[in-house]
Amino acid sequence: MSNIIFLQQNSQLNHTISKGINIILSCEFYWVRVFEIPVKSKKEALLVVPNMFEEFFDINGYEFYIIKQEDNKYLSFAYNPTLIKNELKKQNIPLKYINQIYFANNEFTNETIFKFNDIIYYYENNILVKVPTSLNINQDIKEIDLTNITLSKEYIILSSSSKYITTKTAYILSGLFLLFSLSFGIKTFLLIKEQNKILTLQDKLKNKYHLPNSIIQTKSILKQFNKASKKYNSLRDILAYTINIKQYTNAVLHSIEYNNQRLKLSYKKTTKDNIKKYISKKYKIESISQNNDIVKVEIKI
């Protein structure tokens, strides 16, 4: 089966499409004219062509294609993608299977007259026209065989994008999103690099400060250090307070003994009550006794 379909208005396909095909548009799907335009390039000519077609019909919704025939002479096509799409839909031809779309005008140049599906076409001044069925030509006309057609290089591609976003917009947006994605990709890469850098620094901390193997161990040892610090501060404070007793009473410190967080003090030239009064202002006394002139007091730190 040929992979070329000659698209005519109101015709019906007798098979379903499941692979890539090319479409040849019958002349009712496009306008064609030869324009003399005093420009050198197709690109420049394409800018002028819509205005020239505007004299013949309302160009709203139309797109244009041109072929340079000779200097300043352009074969120009105007086609309405929506009309073509509607017809394709009507004939159950999915847009996704269409590769290229050709204008019949460029594809049957070897013929002067031919017919397809009982519709007769012929070339008049190099422009393919459809013979009105009312003319009822009784000539024996060759039915065109699409399998033997070699397609030209002049084709259009129908955009399958929505009516809200044109192909161009879709590509521009795609480019922008790709750019943003790349930018975020680069930023993410830099973040990962920074993360690895910090993780390496964290590993180096262990060697630099001779830390224990785990954070839990470090925290546990720090707890011991804090405990020792508290113990030391308490001892310092209590010693400072008990040694300075002479400033408030006449007592003389005779001896100090500290062991197992218990502080034993002995004072001379004082009374049990004086010592008790002074020390109990700040610390809890465990025991206090007086033997002759020596007062012994025990405090738990």
- Establish if 132 lies at the interface with other proteins (CB under 8 A): no
Nearer to other proteins, 127 or 221 (CB): 221
We find the least distance from the C-beta atom of residue 14 to other proteins, in angstroms, to be 23
The two structure tokens encoding residue 27: 């002349």
Site string for other proteins, 251-280 (x = CB under 8 A): ---xxxxxx---------------------
> With contact defined as beta carbons under 8 Å apart, do 141 and 113 qualify?
yes
We find the least distance from the C-beta atom of residue 165 to other proteins, in angstroms, to be 7
Question: At residue 138, what is the residue type?
Answer: N
- Establish if 85 lies at the interface with other proteins (CB under 8 A): no
We find the least distance from the C-beta atom of residue 198 to other proteins, in angstroms, to be 5
DSSP 3-state of 192: helix
Q: Given candidates 133, 195, 250, 287, which one binds other proteins under the rule CB under 8 A?
A: 195
User: What residues have CB less than 8 Å from 85, skipping those under 6 apart?
Assistant: 95, 158
C-alpha separations of 149 from 31, 104, 107, 181 in Å: 22, 11, 8, 46
- Establish if 92 lies at the interface with other proteins (CB under 8 A): no
- Establish if 198 lies at the interface with other proteins (CB under 8 A): yes
The C-alpha torsion from 238 through 239 and 240 to 242, rounded to 10°, is 80
Residues of span 148-167 touching other proteins by CB under 8 A: 157, 159-162, 165, 167
Residues 132 and 295: their CA atoms lie apart, in Å, by 138
How distant is the alpha carbon of residue 242 from its chain centre? 73
Residues 87 and 100: their CA atoms lie apart, in Å, by 16
We find the least distance from the C-beta atom of residue 150 to other proteins, in angstroms, to be 18
- Establish if 291 lies at the interface with other proteins (CB under 8 A): no
- Establish if 236 lies at the interface with other proteins (CB under 8 A): yes
Interface stretch with other proteins, choices 29-37, 55-63, 129-137, 232-240 (CB under 8 A): 232-240
Residues 285 and 273: their CA atoms lie apart, in Å, by 12
Q: Given candidates 215, 273, 282, 286, which one binds other proteins under the rule CB under 8 A?
A: 215
Question: Is residue 134 packed enough to be buried (19+ CB in 10 Å), middle (13-18) or exposed (0-12)?
Answer: exposed
> With contact defined as beta carbons under 8 Å apart, do 28 and 8 qualify?
yes
Where are the alpha helices (H) located in 55-210, listed in sequence order?
81-90, 104-107, 167-208
Site string for other proteins, 35-74 (x = CB under 8 A): ----------------------------------------
We find the least distance from the C-beta atom of residue 133 to other proteins, in angstroms, to be 35
Q: Where does this chain bind other proteins (CB under 8 A)?
A: 20, 96-99, 157, 159-162, 165, 167, 170-171, 173-174, 177-178, 180-182, 184-185, 187-188, 191-192, 194-195, 198-199, 201-202, 205-206, 208-211, 215, 218-219, 221-222, 224-226, 228-229, 231-232, 235-236, 239, 254-259
